[in-house]
Each structure stands twice: as C-alpha cells, then as structure tokens.
C-alpha cells in the first residue's frame, strides 16, 4: 500500500484547533494568577525519557522528519511569532521515574543552583519558565501495576523540589500513551493497558494534590494517551494509512515502541493549543 503524505505543520495546527477542546486533552488544569500565558513562556525545562530527549540538552533537530514534540514546539513558536523559546532538556532515552528522575533533577540543579535562602532569586525566571515532566513509559513497561503508586512518589518529590528549590511556578505533566497498542506491546496488551491506566490515574491525582498544596503553582496534565488513542482509532483523519496503527516502522510507529515525528508533531500542536486555551479551575474541581 502506498504511504500517504505526513501531515504538514499547518495541517497539524488546524487539526489541533478543531479538536483540542473536545477530546479531553487536559484532564487537570489549575491556573493561578501568576500564570503568564503560553506566549510569555521563554524557557522550557524538560524531564523524561526517549519521547522527549534531544541529542543535546540545548540543541534542536534541523530536519522535520527527526523532530520530537520539543522541537516541533520550538519550530512552531519561531515560525508563528518569531520568538525563540529556550529549552533545557534533561530527558534521556530509557530513563524511568523510579531510577532516573532524581538524577535528572540533580543535573538540573548542578546547572541551575537551588535557592539558598528565601531572599535569593530562583535560577530561572519563574514567571517565564514552564517545567515539564513526561516520564513513566519505561516504568509501566517493567513494573507490576501494584508497585506504580510507590514510584509516583518520586514524581511528587520532584514537583516539590522544583517548587521549593527552583522557585518553579508553572508545571506541565504529560501522561503515558497507550503502549499496549504499540507493535511491541501486543504480547502483553492486557498488562500494559492496566499499568498505563493506573499510572495516568495516579498522575492526575498527584497533580491535583500538588496544586492543592502549592498555592502559587499552575499545574496542567496533558493527555498524550488521549491524543495517540485518537490517532490510532481513526488514522485516516490524520492522513495516515488505515493499516498504520499496527505497522512497526510505519507512519505512526517508527519502531515497536516509539512514535514517528509526524505523530510527535500532532502531540506538540494539540499541547500548544491546550496551553493557549488554559482555563481557570480550583483544585477541588479537577
């Protein structure tokens, strides 16, 4: 079957604008008065795994077909407004929350030393910096479902450390995609589906609790699970072939576990639309 063209940046932005408010992309959104608006964010600090990692912590891919969501967002910002968004990427392929998230934060604080007193300034401007944690895919791949709650405490510790030591005020958490539907997940589909669902439920709960406890924090959970599920459920709407959801090395899955740059671009576009459209809610409402 002849492959169809990958969606262009304009296609991705248009699709995102039509669908972002109707697909539940943002299951948790707590916006405080300090939230500056997406257009005012100048720095992204990223923690995660291969879905977010770049060759260097401050380097973007030049070629469209090799960009991930970070690079798609940087390109979108640059082409739409002329602004350059700086990113500080501590994500690394294969990393887990259980074993590696704390080390990623250590590398961050080595580069941006923690506040030493209440009077000292934060390492990055809190009003113009968004802290992103997208991790858990590898934890779900190797961990029993009953053990995920304990691992989520590592994410909780990371949020607290960033809030207190870095003066972070804007947080974006991304849930795990449906790895049970990846080519590499078919042999343990039931187990992976349960783990991904449990992780995402725990993440939403943790985000709400953190927002409730941290009165100056704006907290968003963005659902990569929902976005990728939409694509897999109806690939032709995104101009992918009807067989693409099952193909290893195809239009959706670049290999048995990783998504293509085109899919990363759709995630980036819907994420950017969600951040532009942030609404106000209290922690008790999420």
pLDDT in tens, 193-230: 999 999 999 999 999 999 999 999 999 999 999 999 99
Are the C-beta atoms of residues 74 and 130 closer than 8 Å to each other? no
Q: Does some domain include residue 3?
A: no
How many angstroms separate the CA atoms of 87 and 84, rounded?
10
Q: Does some domain include residue 62?
A: yes
Q: Does some domain include residue 1?
A: no
Share of the chain above pLDDT 70, in %: 84
pTM of the full structure: 0.87
Are the C-beta atoms of residues 211 and 286 closer than 8 Å to each other? yes
CA distances from 201 to 6, 112, 191, 225 (A): 32, 31, 16, 12
β partners of residue 259 = 253
Q: Does some domain include residue 65?
A: yes
pLDDT digits (tens, 9 = 90+) for 26-61: 999 999 988 999 999 999 999 999 999 997 655 555
The H-or-E segment that residue 152 falls in is: helix 148-165
Q: Does some domain include residue 143?
A: yes
Q: Does some domain include residue 255?
A: yes
Token reading at 229: 């599920």
Domain boundaries, position 267: 9-285
pLDDT for the residue numbered 116: 60
Q: Does some domain include residue 4?
A: no
Q: Does some domain include residue 2?
A: no
User: What CATH number does residue 180 fall under?
Assistant: 3.40.50.1110
Residue 186 has a CB neighbour count (10 Å cut-off) of 12
State the DSSP code for 113: P
CA distances from 168 to 92, 115, 163, 192, 218 (A): 21, 11, 5, 33, 10
Q: Determine the 3-state secondary structure of 219 from DSSP.
A: strand
Confidence band of 277 (pLDDT split at 50, 70, 90): confident
How many angstroms separate the CA atoms of 136 and 117, rounded?
32
Could you give the number of structural domains in the chain? 1
Higher pLDDT, 123 or 7: 123
Supply the angle between the helices 189-213 and 148-165 in degrees, to the nearest 10.
Answer: 30
């Amino acid at each position: 079957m002849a492959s169809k063209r990958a969606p262009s940046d304009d296609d991705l932005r248009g699709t995102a604008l039509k669908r972002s408010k109707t697909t539940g992309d943002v299951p948790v959104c707590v916006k405080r008065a300090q939230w500056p608006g997406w257009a005012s964010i100048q720095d992204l600090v990223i923690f995660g795994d291969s879905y977010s990692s770049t060759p260097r912590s401050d380097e973007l891919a030049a070629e469209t077909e090799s960009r991930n969501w970070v690079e798609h967002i940087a390109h979108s910002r640059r082409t739409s407004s002329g602004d350059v968004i700086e990113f500080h990427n501590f994500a690394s392929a294969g990393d887990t929350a259980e074993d590696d998230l704390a080390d990623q934060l250590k590398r961050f604080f080595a580069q941006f030393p923690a506040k030493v007193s209440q009077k000292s300034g934060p390492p990055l401007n809190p009003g113009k910096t968004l802290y992103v944690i997208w991790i858990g895919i590898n934890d779900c791949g190797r961990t029993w479902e009953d053990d995920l709650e304990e691992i989520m405490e590592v994410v909780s510790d990371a949020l607290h450390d960033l809030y207190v030591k870095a003066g972070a005020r804007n947080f974006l958490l991304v849930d795990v995609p449906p790895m049970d539907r990846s080519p590499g997940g078919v042999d343990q589909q039931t187990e992976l589906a349960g783990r991904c669902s449990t992780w995402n439920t725990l993440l939403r709960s943790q985000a709400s609790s953190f927002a409730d406890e941290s009165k100056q924090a704006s907290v968003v959970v963005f659902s990569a699970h929902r976005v990728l599920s939409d694509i897999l459920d109806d690939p032709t709407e995104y101009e992918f072939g009807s067989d693409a959801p099952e193909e290893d090395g195809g239009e959706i899955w670049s290999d048995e576990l990783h998504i293509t740059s085109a899919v990363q671009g759709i995630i980036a576009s819907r994420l950017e639309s969600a951040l532009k459209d942030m609404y106000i809610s209290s922690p008790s409402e999420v």
